[in-house]
A = this chain, B = another copy of it.
Amino acid sequence: MKAMHGLCALRGNLVFAPSLGELTVIPKGYILTRDGVVEGIYQNLPAGCPAEVINYGDALITPSFSDLHLHAPQFPMLGLGMDLQLLDWLNTYTFPTEARFRDVEYAQTVYHRLAKELIRRGTTRVCIFSSIHREATHVLMQELEKAGVTGYVGKVNMDRNSTPDLTETTEESIRETLRFIEECCAYENLRPILTPRFIPSCTNELMAALGEMATAHPAVPLQSHLSENQDEIAWVKELHPDCPQYWQAYAKYGCWGEHTIMAHCVYSDEAERAAIKEAGVWAVHCPDSNNNIASGIAPLRKMLEEGLNVALGSDIAGGAKLSMTDVATQAIRLSKLRWLESGKQEAFLTVREAFYLITTAGQAYFGAQPGFGVGEPLHAVVFSDGKFAYNPGLSLEERLERVLYLADKSTITAVYSAGGQAEL
């Protein structure tokens, strides 16, 4: 990371989403920063402004992306095991891969690459699952911090229904989590998050302890999985026959509230969605994962219309796409199939809306304002789209659409995170 000192202005075609379905474009505009903090967004810099101008020419500058659900130790199995479904896929690929992270050196190799790849794809904010290993989780956090990725990192809790080499005792899980939370004061831009893997992985005793931790540490949020797959839902019902709905198995232990993240919600019905909304829980839609491991298509349009907090997640390695631009277009693709399935009743996601979800919606979880927030450290991505197939005269909105559909990491030529410039 390279710090930004003094007054500095990024010049380029600014594009951001102030709200769902709205787009603001400022051709050849300026983002003025002081010591990396946004001072203002301008079409023309104030007269006499002594800022150093970094001129990105005809490039597009957008807010950077937020990935609200991904599994760091599954990075080595990206694009693997896709002929399997959730529970088989967990046992055959996921658990053996995660078990390797007992080895801190292996973690170092993988997490160094992952952190770089996130930045190269413009993702500067994450809510990320680590494995059960406290040491490896710190390795992850060190690598993320070095690369410039900010957000929340969770040491995973699982004291049942896993492979023997990936199971903690309840006592161990509680102790290691408490220790992990304390140790996290070492990071500048990363915070801990409680991370019970999902209901089948955690005993009632462990869930109760995590609920108590959530109460004792109000600044530490909680992330988990909800209603992803029909077999999983049936299993949760068996484990918690007193809970007619999946979400109640979290709620009864105090693992359900404002700032809680629940990934997937594919089968969340009206009642479950109402519970999500009422509690201020965040529903994280992971389209590529839901498609790959054949979970289903989440009712994204309903969630948006009902006013739930919604953002997107890559969910690697159920998702095979680390780039949030790819995740955004996969969300559009899935929404079109849902639109067809619903007899064209549930409107599909537009390009503007998908862009909103990976920028403004995601960053709101971290307390950031829409677009480039004045008074906040700069988070931005510069796209040099000149190499796309020759098509002069496109509007900035059309160019944004092409960036979402076509960009790979070579299209991204600069990334700013937390008020500094990241190394690509």
> Which residues of A come within 8 Å of B, CB atoms?
75-83, 97, 106, 109-110, 113-114, 117, 288, 291-292, 294, 296-297, 320, 329, 332-334, 336-337, 339-341, 348, 350-351, 388-391, 394, 398, 401-402, 404-406, 408, 410
Contacts and interface: CB of A to CB of B under 8 A. Distances in A.
Contact of A389 (B75, B288, B388, B394): B75
B390 A113 contact: yes
Given A82-B332, A351-B83, A114 B320 contact: no
Contact of A291 (B336, B394, B408): B336
B294 A340 contact: yes
B110 A390 contact: yes
A83 B350 contact: yes
29 contacts: A75-B389, A76-B390, A77-B389, A77-B391, A78-B388, A78-B405, A79-B401, A79-B406, A80-B394, A80-B398, A80-B405, A81-B401, A82-B332, A82-B401, A97-B391, A110-B389, A114-B389, A117-B389, A291-B336, A292-B333, A294-B336, A296-B340, A320-B405, A320-B406, A333-B333, A334-B337, A337-B337, A341-B341, A410-B410
Contacts of A106: 390
B78 A389 contact: yes
A11 B25 CA distance: 52
Given A333-B291, A337-B337, A351 B82 contact: yes
A106 B392 CA distance: 11
A291 to B, nearest CB: 5
Nearest to A75: B389
Nearest to A330: B333
A406 B121 CA distance: 14
Contact of A79 (B114, B337, B404): B404
Contacts of A405: 78-80, 82, 320
Contacts of A77: 389, 391
Contact of A337 (B291, B348, B388): B291
Contacts of A117: 389
A408 B406 CA distance: 11
Nearest to A406: B79
A402 B79 contact: yes
A175 to B, nearest CB: 30
Given A76-B390, A79-B401, A329 B336 contact: no
A353 to B, nearest CB: 10
A231 to B, nearest CB: 11
A329 B320 contact: yes
Nearest to A291: B333
Contacts of A291: 333, 336-337
